[in-house]
Structure 1
Amino acid sequence: MSNVQIETVTRKQLCYESDLYIDVRSPAEFAEYRLPGAVNLPLFTNEERAKIGTIYKQQSREAAIEAGVAIYAPKWPDFFAKAKELQQQAPDKRMVVYCWRGGMRSKTVAATLALLGIECYQLEGGIRSFRQYVQQSLAEQAEKKRDYLVIAGHTGTRKTEILSRLAEKGYPVVDLEGLAGHRGSVFGHIGLAQKSQKQFEYELMARLQELDDSSYLIIEAESKRIGHIVLPEFIIEGKKRGTRVELVYPFWKRVEHIYNTYQPEQYASEIWEAVEKIKKYLTPQLYKELEALREQADYQKMFATLLEFYYDPRYAHAAKQYPSKAEVLEYSEIDTAVDKLISLIEQWKEQEVAR
C-alpha cells in the first residue's frame, strides 16, 4: 500500500461539472455539509465513527487505527463494488475522494482504489479546505458595494412565491429562506429539511457568485436568524439600509395560503409543538382559544387567530425599527403583485442610475 502513488487535487483544481466526488465521511457529517453533487460512501456509520473517536481519546491513535481497520475491512468488497459502479456510470468524470481534512479516511480509500485499478484522486485538505474557501468568499462578498431591495410583508403574503417568480425572470433574487430550508417563523421548519449553517453559507456564496455582476440584490426582510441559521452581518446591514417594499395581501387570503403551506392534516402534531414553543408569549385566554380550535381541528381559524393576535402585532412592532417608510404594494393576485413589483423595480433602478 505504501508504494501506491496517491494523486491529489487542490480545492482550486476542482471542477463541479466534470468531477465525481466521493465523500467517505459518516452519514451525519455528509448530511451537515458536502461538496456539490457528492455521493456518500461512508467508511463508518455515525456510531462507528463515535466509537473510534472515543478509542482515540481514551487509548491511543494506534488503537483507534486498529479498531477502524477491523470495522472497515469487512465492508471493503461492497464499498469497492459501489465505487466501480459509480465509475462505470460516469466514465468521463474524474473521481475525487475526500473526508474532513484530507486525512486517513480519504487517503486509505484513494490508495486502495488505486491499487485495485480505479483511477481516483484525493482532495488536499479535505472538505475543510472548501469550507475555508467559502468563508473567504463570503468575506469578499461582504466588501462589495451593492444596493438592496428588501421585500417585506406580513406572514402569509406569499413573499417567497413572488421572489421565485422574479428570479425566474432573471432578477437578482437571493432567496434566504430557500437557501436555509426554513420559512423563518417558529412554524418554518414544518415539512422542510432545514440545512446546516455550513451548507447554507456554501449555497449563499454560490448564489452571490452567480450574481457577481449585479449592482443590487433583492432579498426578503428577515430577522438575524432563520430557524437555527444565522445570517451574515453584511446581509443584515444591507437589509437595514435597503429600499423596502411592503406587500399587502388580503387577510383571509393570507390565512388560506398558510393553511395550504403547512398542511395541518398531515402536520398537526408539529403545528401544535410550534404553538407550545410560543406559549410564553400568549395570554392564557388566547392559548385556551387555540387549544379549543385544535380540538375542533379548525386550523383555518387557528391560523387566523395566530395572525391577528400574535404575528401581526409582532410584525408591526418590528417594522418600527426602520428609519424610512416603505413603498406599499397592494394586490389580491400573485400575477398582479409580480407585475407591479417589476414596474417598481425598474423605476427604482432608473432612479439609482440618475443619482
Structure 2
Amino acid sequence: MTQALALSDFLAAPGVLLDVRSPAEFAQGHIPGAISFPLFTDDERAQVGTCYKQQGRDAAVELGFALAGPKFAGFITQARSLAGNGPVRLHCWRGGMRSEAVAWVLGMGGLSVTTLVGGYKTFRRWALTVPAWTRPIWILGGMTGTGKTAVLHALAERGEQVLDLEAIAHHRGSSFGMLGQPPQPTNEQFENEIAVRWAGFDPTRPVWIEAESKRIGLCRVPEPLFRQMDRAAVLELVRPQAERLEILVRDYGGFSTDDLVAATERIRKRLGGLRTQEAIALLQARRLPEAFDLLLTYYDKTYTYDLTRRSVPRYPIEVAGLSAAECGDRLLAFARALPATVSEDPPALCDLALTPDG
C-alpha cells in the first residue's frame, strides 16, 4: 500500500524515513532523522540528467530503469532490514519519479509506503520559515568559562525547552570551539535541525538559548531566529575568575599543546602579537591556568562589547561555587518570577543581581 501525504502529516507519520536522493544531495541537507537510501549514485544521477537534457524525458526514464533495475531486489531487502515489520516513509527532491519508482518497488515487496507530496523541496521551504515563529526566550549569558553549556544541559534535564545551537553546529563558538567536535554540518543541515526543534517547542513555554554570535564556526544562525535572540532578556552567570579558569582547564586541558596553540594563533590579530606569544609560551609550558587567564582578556572584551550593543534586560546571577545542576535550579527560581518575552522595543538595561542569599 502506498499513499502520499502533505508535509505535516508526513513528518508526524510513523515509520523509518528514507531519502532516495543521491548521496551528494543528502550530504548537502536532509530531513533530520532521515537515512540515505539513494536510487542513483551521484554519477548515475548525472548520467540521467545529461540524458534528459540531450535526448528528452523518455530516454532518461529508460536509462534510469536500466541503471536502477538491477538494484530493486536489494532495495526491498535493505528496506526490510531498516523498517522491520513497520511502515516506510520516503521522499526525493520534488516528490516525482525517483520517489514514485522506489515506492512502487517497495510496495511490490509488501511494504507499506508513504511518500512526501512535493518532496524535500517542500520541507526546505517550510524549514526556512520556521525560525520566524515567535517563542518566549531566555538567553543564557555569562563570560567565557562560566559553564553555560553545562548549565544548559542541566536545564534540559529538568524538562526545560532548550535549543543547544552549539551542539547542533558541532562547535563551541570560540577559536577553540572545534576541538574534540565532529565535522560541522552544512549550513543547510544546520538550518534543518534548528527548524525541526523550533517547530516542536511549546509556544507557551520559554526556550533557553545560550548567548551566541551570528556565526558558530562555519554555521550561521538563521536571521529571523537571531533577531528574536537579540531582543530577549539575558540571565547572566557570574563566577569568580579562579572558577572560570578551573572550568576552562577541565574543558580544554585534555587537548594537545599543538591544538591549543593553533586555536590561539587563530585570534592573533585580535589578541595582539605580544599577548599571543606570551599565551603560546605558557601553553607550551603547560601552564594552562595562566595561559587561559591571558586569553580571557580578549574574550571578556568581546563579551562586554556585545552586551553594551544590546539594549535588553540583563540579570547578572551570582553562581560562585555552584554546580551546573545548582545553577539550573537558581536560574529557574529567578526566571519563574519574570516573564520571558520577545519584544520589538525591550525595556532599558537592568542590572538586578541575585546573590547566593537573594
Alignment partners' CA distance in 1, 2:341 and 2:170:
34
Q: Which residue of the partner structure matches residue 162 of structure 1?
A: 151
Alignment partners' CA distance in 1, 2:334 and 2:48:
57
Alignment partners' CA distance in 2, 1:184 and 1:67:
47
Aligned residues: 339
Residues 4-15 of structure 1: matches in 2 within 5 Å? 7-15=3-11
Q: Which residue of the partner structure matches residue 197 of structure 1?
A: 187
Alignment partners' CA distance in 2, 1:322 and 1:183:
22
Match of 1:320 among 301, 305, 308: 308
- Contact 1:16–1:36 (Cα < 8 Å) also in 2: no
Q: Which moved more, 1:122-131 or 1:106-115?
A: 106-115
What secondary structure is seen at the aligned counterpart in 1 of 2:144? Answer: coil
AA paired with 2:245?
Answer: V
Aligned CA distance change for structure 1 residues 185 and 350 (closer, same or farther; 3 Å)? closer
TM-score by length of 1: 0.79
What secondary structure is seen at the aligned counterpart in 2 of 1:245? Answer: strand
> Post-superposition shift, 1:273?
3.8
AA paired with 1:316?
Answer: T
Aligned CA distance change for structure 1 residues 314 and 214 (closer, same or farther; 3 Å)? same
Q: Please state if 1:250 is matched with 2:240.
A: yes
Aligned CA distance change for structure 1 residues 215 and 31 (closer, same or farther; 3 Å)? same
AA paired with 2:277?
Answer: K
Q: Please state if 1:209 is matched with 2:199.
A: yes
Alignment partners' CA distance in 1, 2:190 and 2:151:
21
- Contact 1:186–1:277 (Cα < 8 Å) also in 2: yes
Q: Which residue of the partner structure matches residue 114 of structure 1?
A: 107
Aligned CA distance change for structure 1 residues 276 and 18 (closer, same or farther; 3 Å)? same
User: 1:88-138 CA distances to partner (integer Å, 9 max, x unpaired)?
Assistant: x2x1x3212212222332222222333444442332221111222223343
AA paired with 1:179?
Answer: I
Q: Which residue of the partner structure matches residue 40 of structure 1?
A: 36
Q: Please state if 1:222 is matched with 2:212.
A: yes
Q: Which residue of the partner structure matches residue 19 of structure 1?
A: 15
- Relative to its length, the structure with more helix (as a share) is 1
AA paired with 1:82?
Answer: Q
- Contact 1:264–1:271 (Cα < 8 Å) also in 2: no
> Post-superposition shift, 1:351?
12
Residues 1-355 of structure 1: matches in 2 within 5 Å? 7-16=3-12, 18-46=14-42, 48=43, 51-52=46-47, 55=50, 59=54, 71-87=67-83, 89=84, 91=85, 93-139=86-132, 141=133, 144=134, 147-193=136-182, 194-214=184-204, 216-262=206-252, 264-265=254-255, 269-308=258-297, 310-323=298-311, 326-330=314-318, 331-334=320-323, 335-349=325-339
- Contact 1:179–1:200 (Cα < 8 Å) also in 2: yes
Alignment partners' CA distance in 2, 1:276 and 1:69:
54
Alignment partners' CA distance in 2, 1:351 and 1:40:
40
Query: Which runs of 5 or more residues in structure 2 are unaligned?
Result: 343-358
What secondary structure is seen at the aligned counterpart in 2 of 1:320? Answer: helix
Q: Which residue of the partner structure matches residue 348 of structure 2?
A: none
Aligned CA distance change for structure 1 residues 328 and 9 (closer, same or farther; 3 Å)? closer
- Contact 1:329–1:337 (Cα < 8 Å) also in 2: no
User: 1:176-220 CA distances to partner (integer Å, 9 max, x unpaired)?
Assistant: 323333222232233223333333333333333343342543322
> Post-superposition shift, 1:341?
1.6
TM-score by length of 2: 0.79
Alignment partners' CA distance in 1, 2:341 and 2:79:
56
What secondary structure is seen at the aligned counterpart in 2 of 1:96? Answer: strand
Aligned CA distance change for structure 1 residues 274 and 100 (closer, same or farther; 3 Å)? farther
> Post-superposition shift, 1:18?
1.6
- Contact 2:10–2:115 (Cα < 8 Å) also in 1: no
Q: Percent identity?
A: 33
Query: Which runs of 5 or more residues in structure 1 are unaligned?
Result: none
Q: Which moved more, 1:30-39 or 1:154-163?
A: 30-39
